[in-house]
């Protein structure tokens, strides 16, 4: 490994020596922080395809080999053996919890699940057909109004309380958004239920009758939430880091992550995949849609396919695809079986097509997740809120890691200016 990298080929930088940053795993980075001072140039990397914004210990992705590690543990081992709260503890604290630590963590989360009643009334101000992601963005941002004066972002204990509050309250907020959208009473959390069982009850129970949580459904959500909990510097996590780097209220910073996740190129893809599968309708239409996806003049993309980092199977998609069988067998839900069979056919045809193979476009985490959510009776517009519940852990962990770093500075990228050179004002009658 070179000690330094020497820039050559452009006259202003010939021979400029640049230090490098050595990772534990993965690709080394050239440290360009001094480049402007030493060589009078910037780096140019729109969409940050080859730019590291920080150092992080939380999650490692090997895109070429389809590997995902949370604090060094492979995602498939965690999905098979852990619980979502156990993985949450790991991502936040860096180590798997002892039994005592897990009991204390679960107790803390359980006793932060309720929302202030005036916040519950906030939902009434949304139109009945407001998208749940719009409601979640607003409600989470408004948590800053409740906890601003009592949150010292420089106090590690306050930072931990923020993370526990957010992990605990985000299912209550998501379920309340769903209840508002279907015109049913908002259900309060129950302290005698586990994390995902509480969510299912808050979504599907009604005051008029008892509700029995299906253990297959709560287990399915545990697996899906673990798989979605973190993914290094993805767009929404980078947004949370950017907002948090200004010293902004962490609840407000986290609401920017929800907004960023909503986009169909990011977490909104799971909703878009189900809409796409329903639009394709039948395996006989697959070739037509594959051609549409390849046509540069057609804006249609194969939703749930492709990834900025994975140029192999997204390991999460493999776990979810295998888990689909278990869930669909349990519910024997013909409609979702049909969708799953269609998704498998779409995957088969795409992965035999040179266009997808040459571009290393494989199914990502969003391709199969919606089929499980649909089998659990979760409506399509609640798929991305499910993603947001899980990714609240990663957003919180990255915000804490950034705020724990004394070297953190406000994030402020530069640009290549391509506008007018200086010119003088022109009076109106001369224009």
The two tokens of residue 259 are 């907004």
Residue with tokens 């907004």: 259
Query: Which of 189, 304, 315, 370 forms a contact with ligand SDX (CB under 6 A)?
Result: 304
Residue (249 or 392) nearer to ligand SDX, CB: 392
Catalytic residue among 366, 405, 424, 429: 366
Is 127 a residue of the active site?
A: no
- Count CB-CB contacts under 10 A for residue 291: 13
Sign for the CA dihedral angle at 48, 53, 55, 58 comes to negative
Query: Which of 245, 364, 384, 396 forms a contact with ligand SDX (CB under 6 A)?
Result: 364
Residue (296 or 430) nearer to ligand SDX, CB: 296
| Residue 396 touches ligand SDX, criterion: CB under 6 A | no
Maximum pairwise Cα distance, the chain: 78
CA R_g for the chain = 23
293 in Cβ contact with 347 (< 8 Å): no
Residues 308-337 within binding reach of ligand SDX (CB under 6 A)? 308-309
In the complex, minimum distance from the CB of residue 172 to ligand SDX, in angstroms, rounded to a whole number: 23
In the complex, minimum distance from the CB of residue 398 to ligand SDX, in angstroms, rounded to a whole number: 12
Query: Which of 18, 92, 361, 388 forms a contact with ligand SDX (CB under 6 A)?
Result: 361
Give the three-state DSSP class for 60: strand
Query: CA 4 → CA 20, 23, 31, 42, 158, distances in Å?
Result: 6, 15, 9, 18, 40
Catalytic residue among 180, 231, 307, 398: 307
| Residue 302 touches ligand SDX, criterion: CB under 6 A | yes
The two tokens of residue 83 are 């619980």
Is 266 a residue of the active site?
A: yes
Sign for the CA dihedral angle at 111, 112, 118, 122 comes to negative
Residue (302 or 402) nearer to ligand SDX, CB: 302
Residues 233-252 within binding reach of ligand SDX (CB under 6 A)? 234
In the complex, minimum distance from the CB of residue 406 to ligand SDX, in angstroms, rounded to a whole number: 27
Query: For ligand SDX, which stretch binds (CB under 6 A), given 12-20, 139-147, 170-178, 261-269?
Result: 261-269
Nearest to 92 by CA among 81, 104, 80: 104
| Residue 219 touches ligand SDX, criterion: CB under 6 A | no
Q: Give the integer Cα–Cα distance in Å for 338 and 278.
A: 10
The residues pairing with 20 across neighbouring beta strands, listed in sequence order, are 30
Is 112 a residue of the active site?
A: no
- Buried-exposed string 266-280: b where 16+ CB fall within 10 A, e elsewhere: bbbbbbbbbebbeeb
Residues 262-291 within binding reach of ligand SDX (CB under 6 A)? 265-267, 269
In the complex, minimum distance from the CB of residue 155 to ligand SDX, in angstroms, rounded to a whole number: 29
Residue (119 or 393) nearer to ligand SDX, CB: 393
| Residue 222 touches ligand SDX, criterion: CB under 6 A | no
328 in Cβ contact with 375 (< 8 Å): yes
Query: For ligand SDX, which stretch binds (CB under 6 A), given 190-198, 205-213, 281-289, 307-315?
Result: 307-315
Q: Give the integer Cα–Cα distance in Å for 88 and 251.
A: 18
Residue (84 or 231) nearer to ligand SDX, CB: 231
Residue (71 or 307) nearer to ligand SDX, CB: 307
**Residues present in the chain in total:** 431
Query: Which of 180, 201, 241, 307 forms a contact with ligand SDX (CB under 6 A)?
Result: 307
Catalytic residue among 266, 282, 341, 354: 266
| Residue 305 touches ligand SDX, criterion: CB under 6 A | yes
Query: CA 268 → CA 264, 271, 274, 275, 277, distances in Å?
Result: 4, 6, 11, 11, 15
Nearest to 182 by CA among 163, 202, 155: 202
Residue with CB nearest ligand SDX?
Answer: 306
Residue (213 or 221) nearer to ligand SDX, CB: 221
**CA triple 220-337-194, angle to 5 deg:** 15
- How many residues line the site for ligand SDX (CB under 6 A)? 21
Residues that bind ligand SDX (CB under 6 A): 231, 234, 265-267, 269, 293, 301-309, 359, 361, 364-366
Q: Mind telling me the catalytic residues? A: 266, 307, 366
């Amino acid at each position: 490994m070179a000690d330094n990298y020497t820039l050559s080929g452009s006259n202003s930088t010939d021979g400029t020596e640049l230090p490098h940053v050595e990772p534990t795993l993965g690709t080394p980075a050239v440290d360009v922080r001094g480049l402007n001072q030493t060589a009078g140039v910037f780096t140019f990397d729109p969409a940050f395809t080859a730019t590291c914004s920080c150092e992080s210990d939380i999650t490692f992705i090997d895109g070429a080999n389809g590997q995902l590690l949370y604090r060094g543990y492979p995602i498939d081992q965690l999905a098979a053996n852990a619980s979502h709260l156990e993985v949450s503890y790991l991502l936040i604290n860096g180590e798997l919890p002892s039994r005592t630590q897990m009991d204390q963590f679960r107790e803390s989360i359980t006793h932060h699940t309720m929302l202030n009643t005036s916040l519950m009334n906030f939902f009434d101000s949304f139109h009945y057909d407001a998208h749940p992601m719009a409601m979640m963005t607003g409600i989470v941002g408004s948590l800053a109004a409740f906890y601003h004066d009592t949150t010292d972002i420089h106090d590690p204990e306050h930072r931990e309380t923020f993370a526990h509050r957010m992990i605990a309250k985000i299912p209550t907020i998501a379920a309340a958004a769903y209840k508002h959208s279907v015109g049913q009473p908002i259900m309060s959390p129950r302290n005698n239920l586990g994390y995902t069982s509480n969510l299912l009850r808050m979504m599907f129970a009604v005051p008029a009758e008892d509700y029995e949580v299906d253990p297959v459904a709560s287990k399915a959500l545990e697996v899906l939430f673990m798989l979605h909990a973190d993914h290094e510097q993805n767009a929404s996590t980078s947004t949370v880091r950017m907002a948090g780097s200004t010293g902004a209220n962490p609840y407000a910073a986290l609401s920017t992550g929800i907004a960023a996740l909503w986009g169909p190129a990011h977490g909104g893809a799971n909703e878009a995949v189900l809409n796409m599968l329903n639009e394709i309708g039948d395996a006989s239409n697959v070739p037509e849609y594959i051609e549409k996806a390849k046509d540069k003049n057609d804006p249609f993309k194969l939703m749930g396919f492709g990834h900025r980092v994975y140029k192999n199977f997204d390991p999460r998609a493999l776990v979810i695809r295998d888990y689909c069988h278990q869930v669909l067998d349990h519910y024997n839900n013909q409609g979702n079986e049909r969708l799953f069979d269609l998704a498998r056919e779409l995957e088969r045809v795409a992965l035999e097509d040179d266009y997808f193979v040459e571009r290393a476009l494989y199914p990502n985490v969003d391709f199969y997740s919606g089929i499980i959510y649909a089998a659990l009776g979760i409506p399509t517009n609640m798929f991305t809120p499910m993603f947001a519940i899980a990714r609240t852990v990663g957003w919180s962990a990255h915000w804490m890691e950034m705020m724990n770093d004394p070297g953190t500075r406000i994030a402020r990228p530069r640009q290549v200016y391509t506008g007018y050179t200086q010119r003088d004002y022109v009076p109106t009658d001369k224009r």
